[in-house]
Every structure is written in C-alpha cells, then in structure tokens.
Amino acid sequence: MTISFIGHGYVGLVTAAVFADLGNTVWVVGRTKEKIERLKKGDPLIYEPGLDELLKRNLAAGRLKFTLDYKEGIAASQVVFIAVGTPSKTSGEADLSQVFAAAEEIGKSLVGYKVVVTKSTVPPGTGRKVSEIVNRHKPEGSSFAIASCPEFLREGTGLSDTLHPDRVVIGTNSDRARDILVELHKSIDGKQVLCNVETAELIKYASNSMLATKISFANAIGFLAEKVGADVERVLEGVGLDKRIGRSFLYPGVGYGGSCFPKDVKALIAIAGEFGYDFKLLKSVHEVNMEARNNFVDKITRHFKSVKGKTIAVLGLAFKPDTDDMREAPSIDIVNSLLDKGASIRVFDPIAMEKAKAKLPHGIVFAKDPYDAANGADAVAIVTEWNEFRQIDLVRLAKGMKHLVLFDGRNIYEPTRLRELGFMYYGVGRM
C-alpha cells in the first residue's frame, strides 16, 4: 500500500519507517527544507534505538521518501496519517493548530479517495473538525473518510512497540476506511479495537491518564512509606503481585515527564471541564506529580540545611532512559530549583546533552561522563534511571566527590550497598 505521514517526529518517523519496512511505500511530508534534506540522507534527526539503520535500509530500498510537497506525498497514497505535535496551551488544553494546518494542506492536495487518519493525540471531537477543514479545502471530485488511530509507542522502544503493540485502535465511522486500515495493519501484532472516531480519541487519553495515575499513586505511597518507616519498593512489590493490579508503572521517583503524560493529563482535565465534568482524580494525579519533583529537591535542601554554595551532580536529564527527549523532563525543574537556591550544578546524560543545553539555564557545567560530573561534588542526584548509571563504579565515583551523599531519585541502588561504601543514601519512599 502507498501511505503518507505528515510530520517526522518521534511518532511520524518511527511509524513511517516501520510501515516502509513491512513493504509499503511511505511518503513523509515535512515543512523544513534543511530537515527534509538531512532525512533524505539518512539522518533521523532524533535519537531512537534502531531507527538509524531502519531509515537507511528503507531509503536505499526506495520505500521511504521525504518531501516538502504535500501534493507529491499524498497523490498516490491511500491513507494519510497526521502525526504532528499537539502540545499543551497554557490553559492545559491541547493546541491543535498543527493538526488543523495539516488538515488544510491535506484538503488542498486531495485527489481521488483518501483515508485521513489522526495519529496525533487529539481530544474527542477533533476528527469532526479535521473533516470539516479537509472538506472546506478539497478540490471537487475528491473524497475522503476520517479515522483515528492513536499511537501508543514509547520513546526508547518505539520500533518494537510499533511492530508489536498491545493493541491497534482503529476508530472510524466508514466501513471502507475501516477495511483499508485493517488491511494496512495486518502485519502488525496486537488485538484490533474497532470503534468510532471519538472512542479511539478518548482511548488514548484514558490510557495515558491511567498510566500517569499509577505513577502518582506509587509516589503518594512513597511519601507515606517514608513517614511510617516502610520500604516502598517492597510495598509495591507486594501490591503488584496481585494479578488484578500488576507491577508495571508502580514505580516511585521524581515524577513523570515527557511529551505525553503531563500534557495528556492536563488535556483530559480540560476536555472533561469543557463537557461539565470536574475530573478531580486527574487534578490530584498532576498535583502529586509536581509534589514528587519538589519533594526530591526538598530532600536535598534538608540534608544540607541550605544548598547555597554546594555543588550537586545531576545524573540523567532526559525524561526517561533511551531517549534524548527533554520535553517536560523533571530534570529541568529540579536543576532550576537547585540553582535558584544557590547550588552549583554539574550534569551528565548519556544521550540528551545537546537537547538539554537548549532547555537548561546558562551557568551549569555539562560534564563528559558521570565521574566528571561527580568530581568535586557535595552530592550526586540520580534523576533518570539510565542503565549505565546502574553499572557505575561507585568506588571510583566516590573518590572524586567532596562529600559522599547520594540522592537516588529512581531507587536504582541498594541502600545497604551504598552505605557500606560510605555514602549517605537517600532513596524515594525508603530509608
């Protein structure tokens, strides 16, 4: 099948490359000349494990094509996916301007019959609005159906998530569009959930909000565990062994970040409000998430009484491991807060250093590795649970530090081991 993607970010490019690898011809439409030129040469522009190779393989095979021209990208396509960004407005609502701009361009470029699919995360009712826009701009004689296939991939495991998802949601009111989308997804594992457009749109927000709720629940239990002298890791192990609950996403830490959970939780609160429902549960999920970041900084501040003049080494900047994505990363608030309180900051992240430079204030030191970051530091703060931090030579790390204090924002170390090595150890939700 020939298909096209509007947008080549974490979702657009990964999904396009996977569909190309399955034998489809895939056009990717972008809006920046320089980026399209780099993509044509095989530079994915983002870090996603395995994407580099997949991109090069499918470019060489002629199955993956990049263009700035909507007409060229859409002409031969049966299906057009909208995979542009839907960031938060300051009100918390989803900003749909990129989606609507893409819909207008698709409308103007329509020939024959196309299925226009929103893959971006969009509030229920957006499909209808996209339909109106495409309809307003489409040339006579062309036709289309609207569908919603929300994306569930996780950055860092995007390729295998796309190929082997838990489910494929296909939301459309058109039988013809549904048949085309079922056919397109036939090589993708995962149970197909066939539904109407609004249902598909809401499934995505409900899923992300449920996962965010689990994280905030784990954090709330962590706050309590510290007060009552319990070990949150054992508590959640005990809880998660109940098959009705499960262990996944029940991990305390410095809270969720990234381009999805914070914005989708806020957007679902706004959507609910628009329809007259006060989504108190999700408001608390968001509050607890902010508390998790603040508590971590408070813990560091409490230890030193004041962090003024102290040097803190922050290890991990990306919002989670195996990505360079810095959007809404907890590290940003944590670093800013420590700087405001007068600390000096040295940071290291295995992949996100370049992107972090654009997001973090001037005056912090970008170190070349964890040991360099910890050199001369009064404390180390683990903010992202990169696997390589689990493997750190703690004896070597300790040698360079001024004081042996470690704040483990992700509970990646065994407290007893750290204490044996002479560290003062602070985890989350445990002694």
Ligand X SMILES: NC(=O)c1ccc[n+]([C@@H]2O[C@H](COP(=O)([O-])OP(=O)(O)OC[C@H]3O[C@@H](n4cnc5c(N)ncnc54)[C@H](O)[C@@H]3O)[C@@H](O)[C@H]2O)c1
Q: Which is nearer to ligand X, 6 or 373 (CB)?
A: 6
Tell me the closest approach of the beta carbon of residue 264 to ligand X, in angstroms: 7
Q: Tell me phi and psi for residue 281, to 5 degrees.
A: -55, -50
Residue 407 host element (H or E): strand 405-408
Q: In this chain, which stretch among 6-14, 236-244, 330-338, 410-418 interacts with ligand X, using CB under 6 A?
A: 6-14
Tell me the closest approach of the beta carbon of residue 160 to ligand X, in angstroms: 14
Tell me the closest approach of the beta carbon of residue 169 to ligand X, in angstroms: 12
For position 29 contacting ligand X by CB under 6 A, the verdict is yes
Site for ligand X in 62-121 (CB under 6 A): 83-86, 98, 101-102, 120-121
Tell me the closest approach of the beta carbon of residue 61 to ligand X, in angstroms: 23
Q: Which is nearer to ligand X, 319 or 425 (CB)?
A: 319
Catalytic residue among 181, 260, 332, 418: 260
Tell me the closest approach of the beta carbon of residue 122 to ligand X, in angstroms: 7
Residue nearest to ligand X (CB): 9
Whether 115 and 147 have beta carbons less than 8 Å apart is answered as yes
Q: Does the active-site annotation cover 260?
A: yes
Of the residues 48, 155, 333, 408, which one makes contact with ligand X according to CB under 6 A = 155
Whether 429 and 233 have beta carbons less than 8 Å apart is answered as yes
Tell me the closest approach of the beta carbon of residue 145 to ligand X, in angstroms: 21
CA-based max dimension of the chain:
76
Of the residues 31, 108, 283, 357, which one makes contact with ligand X according to CB under 6 A = 31
For position 10 contacting ligand X by CB under 6 A, the verdict is yes
Cα–Cα distance measured from residue 215 to residue 85, given in angstroms and rounded to the nearest whole number: 24
Neighbouring-strand partners of residue 426:
407
Residue 426, SS3?
strand
Q: In this chain, which stretch among 7-15, 123-131, 181-189, 363-371 interacts with ligand X, using CB under 6 A?
A: 7-15
Of residues 13, 2, 14, 18, the one with CA closest to residue 187? 18
Residues that bind ligand X (rule: CB under 6 A) add up to a total of 24
Tell me the closest approach of the beta carbon of residue 143 to ligand X, in angstroms: 22
Whether 232 and 222 have beta carbons less than 8 Å apart is answered as yes
For position 57 contacting ligand X by CB under 6 A, the verdict is no
- What contacts 41, CB < 8 A, 6 or more positions away? none
Task: List the structure tokens of 416.
Answer: 């007893």
For position 39 contacting ligand X by CB under 6 A, the verdict is no
Number of residues assigned to the chain: 431
Task: List the structure tokens of 178.
Answer: 């549904």
Of the residues 9, 92, 240, 376, which one makes contact with ligand X according to CB under 6 A = 9
- What contacts 204, CB < 8 A, 6 or more positions away? 121, 150, 151, 152, 169, 264
For position 8 contacting ligand X by CB under 6 A, the verdict is yes
Q: In this chain, which stretch among 3-11, 51-59, 109-117, 133-141 interacts with ligand X, using CB under 6 A?
A: 3-11
Question: What DSSP string describes 54-84?
Answer: HHHHHHHTT-EEEES-HHHHHHT-SEEEE--
Q: Which is nearer to ligand X, 150 or 415 (CB)?
A: 150
Cα–Cα distance measured from residue 383 to residue 399, given in angstroms and rounded to the nearest whole number: 21
Neighbouring-strand partners of residue 65:
27
Residues near ligand X, by CB under 6 A: 6-12, 29-31, 83-86, 98, 101-102, 120-121, 151, 153, 155, 259-260
The residues that are catalytic are 260
